[in-house]
């Protein structure tokens, strides 16, 4: 990973990485070749089963009896984890939008110590959500600035006495006062899309549905856990594994971006508090009570990913300790008899995920015992052993690449394993201990200076790498002594054993050093992510373009100006609001950077912090950046990737009588009269459905062409005020990349 990722030049459209091409081109290719990916998964399972069967029957005699079983146990551990991954990633179904359920929804935003720059965008986004909603800002920090925010935006401010059970207790405190049928829980940094209820509420027409989870996206693409724009450590989980878990009925609440049936939550006693991971435990209680939990494969929120290695470790340690607490031998909540076999299988995968550092440590110990003392866990000393092991390793690596579908690769897995190694090890004692755990909130909006302080958080992987390096050096020195004298100082080893320990040791050493280098070299000096935009504005008194923006700063393209760093210049930006209106935000920019964009220096990019003139200007900027930009970008992506459904519906386009010829969630085309249609114009549209509904929205024109029957065909990116009617026409939100099979059914039920 680059130490200074490039900032994107366009707004990020949060789409599942398993359905759009990433830099992992081979993995992305399998998005349209699902059956081949499945075949490779089956082939790898057969190869692994064959290898392990051979290991049990043919490699025990002559091997160290204890080390044989320890090493075999570690290999079986990895094989079981691989099988579970194949089951969960087996198939990714298209994602429908069901008809919107008209319900009163309580939106609960839980906060403790997050600052206003984190919470305010979440409030602005919540206010833009379409539907009958009531917003509750639940502040366990009892801070005056949070109360002021709530009063300014007209939302309910809630506190309680004490902070028992952290986030779970915070939500439980407000639960008795909620009137809504549904509850939308948002983390303090999770800014929701205006159509989040349009997308998720329809599932609750089925009475057994208790919870619908959606994906977590992150706006700060320069975080410690990002590999590229939009692709990060959690992409595999949210874009491949959770969609696959719908088949196994093993979806669980991920703490935020979930819509919950309030009555079901009350039935199980509210948010669970027995373990530190209230979301996972509550999910298990709901499933044990007979409710269904569903995953909706849309990215409908954007939050803040850990900026620094320290923040990343805090978050992963909390997740590991909390999740493993549910597996405590006295509780065994994920293996409740009322849960299904599919649920048991998925939750076993979660257990193995958090115990992976234990397996890797066993491998390292075995390598040292073999390399230094010559104690072997496998008796076969021929090429047969190396071949059988190699075939299994290659088959599993290829299957992982295929089934991850571009969301993650083998090298990504190794990288994130090193980063979370110590955090997950901290959680392992939770399987035996039930001592109270302090709830640590993940730090947000931090700068990252890298250096040795960050590298120190990799100390366990670095220690293992150092020991393995010593082992290889000792074995190399022994080879030199043998060549010179005929007798070495270490126990002799057959060539296959030397090859295997050499490959394993080098992989561990190299990947650890690469991760340590990237962590050391990271330099992120901005606390707030700055959004790429293209908005009209003014710099001093001259019209210009704003190209970078957030509530604390901006960048403008300016023609030759006699300004110096430190100068204060009046600026303005014309912002689009989520309600369709515009607002000219005004403020004062303090110049901190001037970059010439031409050899003559006549065009400059001038940027710096901005002090906005009033609260309305600040709110308009927040709305533009955190709500409007990602919402529009997602609709543009839908226009390209969501299948168009042919229709013939009466319509009006900018007041002209028209016929709508095809629709999708993000696009539409019309046959209409007139000749003054201009590309990039945004015009109002209304469509009359077969059921007599009137669906309205705006169309940003992308193409205009003469129609053979007369008039013009006008097509573009559609922003619908309501999307529920599209379900009757079989419009899917997202589908895997085109393949030969049809992706559009007669109806999305």
Residue 634: what pLDDT? 84
**Per-residue pLDDT averaged across 483-507, rounded?**
86
Among 441, 438, 436, 437, CA closest to 110: 441
Residue 129: what pLDDT? 96
Residue 732: what pLDDT? 66
d(CA 541, CA 572) in angstroms, rounded, equals 9
> Does position 10 have pLDDT exceeding 70, yes or no?
no
Residue 382: what pLDDT? 65
Burial of 527 (0-12, 13-18, 19+ CB in 10 A): middle
Among 619, 613, 616, CA closest to 550: 619
Work out the pLDDT band at 350, boundaries 50, 70, 90. very high
Contact 548, 624 (CB under 8 A): no
Work out the pLDDT band at 730, boundaries 50, 70, 90. low
Instruction: Spell out the alpha helix ranges (H) of 486-614.
Output: 495-521
Residue 640: what pLDDT? 64
Q: Domains (ranges, CATH) in the chain?
A: 95-337 (3.90.550.10), 531-633 (2.40.10.220), 644-730 (2.40.10.220)
Beta bridge partners of 650: 659
Candidate ranges 87-101, 618-632, 715-729; pick with highest mean pLDDT? 618-632
SS3 189: coil
SS3 378: coil
Residue 143: what pLDDT? 96
> Does position 488 have pLDDT exceeding 90, yes or no?
no
Q: Tell me: the pLDDT tens digits for 163-187?
A: 999 999 999 999 999 999 999 999 9
d(CA 633, CA 616) in angstroms, rounded, equals 24
Among 237, 459, 251, 435, CA closest to 353: 237
d(CA 179, CA 183) in angstroms, rounded, equals 9
> Does position 601 have pLDDT exceeding 70, yes or no?
no
Work out the pLDDT band at 746, boundaries 50, 70, 90. very low
User: Is the alpha carbon torsion for 668, 258, 409, 386 positive or negative?
Assistant: negative
Backbone φ, ψ for residue 79 (5° rounding): -65, -45
Compute the residue count for the chain: 749
User: Is the alpha carbon torsion for 202, 204, 208, 210 positive or negative?
Assistant: positive
Beta strand extents in 238-323 (DSSP E only)? 258-261, 292-303
SS3 53: helix
Residue 399: what pLDDT? 98
Burial of 428 (0-12, 13-18, 19+ CB in 10 A): middle
> Does position 560 have pLDDT exceeding 80, yes or no?
no
Residue 731: what pLDDT? 62
> Does position 491 have pLDDT exceeding 50, yes or no?
yes
pTM higher than 0.75: yes
d(CA 314, CA 13) in angstroms, rounded, equals 28
Residue 500: what pLDDT? 82
> Does position 3 have pLDDT exceeding 70, yes or no?
no
What percent of the chain is predicted at pLDDT more than 90? 68
Give the Å distances, CA to CA, from 60 to 47, 376, 383, 501, 744.
20, 10, 16, 18, 54
Contact 595, 7 (CB under 8 A): no
Residue 737: what pLDDT? 59
Contact 700, 682 (CB under 8 A): yes
Helix (H) or strand (E) holding 705: strand 694-706
Beta bridge partners of 545: 536, 557
Beta strand extents in 473-620 (DSSP E only)? 531-539, 542-550, 553-559, 568-576, 582-590, 593-596, 603-612
DSSP 280: H
**Per-residue pLDDT averaged across 423-438, rounded?**
84
């Amino acid at each position: 990973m680059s130490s200074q990722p490039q900032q994107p030049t366009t707004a990020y459209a949060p789409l599942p990485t398993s359905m759009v091409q990433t830099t992992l081109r081979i993995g992305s290719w399998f998005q349209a070749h699902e059956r081949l990916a499945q075949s490779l998964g089956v082939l790898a399972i057969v190869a692994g089963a064959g290898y392990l069967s051979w290991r049990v029957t043919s490699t025990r005699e002559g091997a160290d009896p204890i080390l044989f079983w320890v090493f075999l146990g570690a290999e079986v551990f990895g094989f079981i984890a691989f099988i579970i991954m194949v089951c969960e990633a087996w198939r990714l179904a298209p994602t429908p939008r069901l008809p919107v359920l008209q319900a009163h929804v309580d939106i609960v935003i839980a906060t403790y110590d997050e600052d206003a720059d984190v919470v305010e965008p979440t409030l602005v986004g919540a206010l833009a959500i379409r539907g009958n909603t009531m917003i509750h800002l639940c502040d366990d920090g009892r801070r005056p600035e949070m109360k002021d925010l709530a009063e300014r935006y007209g939302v309910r401010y809630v506190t309680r006495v004490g902070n028992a059970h952290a986030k779970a207790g915070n939500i439980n405190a407000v639960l008795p006062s909620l009137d809504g049928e549904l509850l939308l829980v948002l983390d303090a940094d999770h800014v929701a899309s205006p159509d989040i209820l349009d997308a998720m509420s329809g599932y609750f027409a089925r009475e057994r549905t208790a919870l619908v989870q959606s994906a977590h996206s992150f706006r700060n693409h320069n975080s410690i856990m990002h590999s590229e724009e939009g692709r990060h450590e959690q992409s595999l989980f949210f874009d491949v594994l959770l969609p696959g878990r719908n088949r196994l009925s093993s979806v669980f609440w991920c703490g935020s971006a979930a819509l919950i049936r309030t009555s079901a939550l009350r039935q199980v006693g509210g948010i669970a508090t027995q373990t530190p991971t209230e979301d996972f435990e509550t999910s298990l209680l709901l499933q044990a009570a007979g409710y269904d939990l569903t995953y909706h494969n849309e990215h409908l929120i954007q939050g803040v990913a850990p900026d620094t290695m320290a923040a990343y470790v805090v978050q992963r340690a909390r997740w590991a300790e909390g999740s493993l607490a549910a597996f405590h031998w006295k509780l065994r909540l994920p293996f409740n008899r009322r849960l299904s076999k599919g649920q048991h299988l998925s939750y076993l995968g979660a257990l193995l995920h958090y115990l992976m550092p234990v397996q890797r440590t066993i491998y390292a110990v075995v390598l040292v015992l073999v390399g230094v003392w010559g104690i072997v866990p496998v008796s076969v000393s021929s090429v047969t052993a190396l071949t059988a092991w190699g075939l299994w390793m290659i088959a599993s690596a290829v299957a992982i690449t295929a089934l991850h579908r571009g969301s993650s690769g083998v090298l990504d897995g190794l990288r994130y394993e090193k980063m979370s190694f110590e955090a997950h090890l901290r959680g392992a004692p939770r399987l035996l201990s039930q001592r109270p755990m302090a709830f640590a909130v993940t730090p947000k909006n931090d700068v990252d200076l890298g250096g040795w302080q960050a590298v120190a958080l990799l100390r366990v992987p670095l220690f293992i790498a150092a020991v393995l390096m010593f082992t290889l050096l000792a074995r190399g020195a022994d080879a030199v002594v043998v060549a010179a004298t005929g007798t070495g100082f270490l126990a002799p080893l057959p060539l296959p054993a030397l090859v295997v320990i050499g490959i394993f040791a080098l992989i561990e050493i190299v990947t650890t050093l690469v991760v340590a280098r990237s962590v050391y070299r990271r330099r992120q000096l901005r606390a707030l992510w700055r959004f790429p935009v293209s908005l009209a504005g003014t710099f001093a008194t001259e019209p210009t373009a704003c190209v970078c923006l957030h509530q604390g700063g901006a960048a403008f393209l300016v023609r030759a100006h006699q300004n110096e760093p430190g100068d204060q210049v009046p600026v303005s930006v014309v912002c689009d609001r989520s309600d369709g209106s515009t607002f000219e935000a005004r403020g004062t920019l303090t110049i901190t950077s001037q970059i010439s964009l031409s050899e003559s220096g006549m065009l400059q990019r001038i940027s710096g912090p901005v002090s906005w003139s009033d609260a309305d200007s600040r709110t308009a900027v927040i709305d533009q950046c955190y709500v409007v930009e990602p919402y529009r970008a997602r609709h543009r992506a839908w226009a390209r990737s969501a299948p168009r459904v042919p229709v013939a519906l009466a319509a009006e386009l900018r007041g002209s009588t028209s016929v709508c010829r095809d629709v999708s969630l993000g696009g539409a085309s019309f046959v209409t009269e007139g000749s003054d249609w201009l590309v990039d114009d945004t015009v109002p549209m209304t469509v009359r459905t077969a059921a007599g509904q009137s669906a309205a929205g705006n169309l940003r024109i992308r193409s205009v062409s003469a129609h053979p029957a007369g008039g013009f065909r006008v097509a573009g990116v559609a922003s619908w005020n309501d999307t529920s009617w599209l379900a009757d026409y079989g419009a899917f939100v997202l589908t895997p990349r085109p393949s030969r099979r049809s992706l559009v059914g007669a109806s999305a039920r």
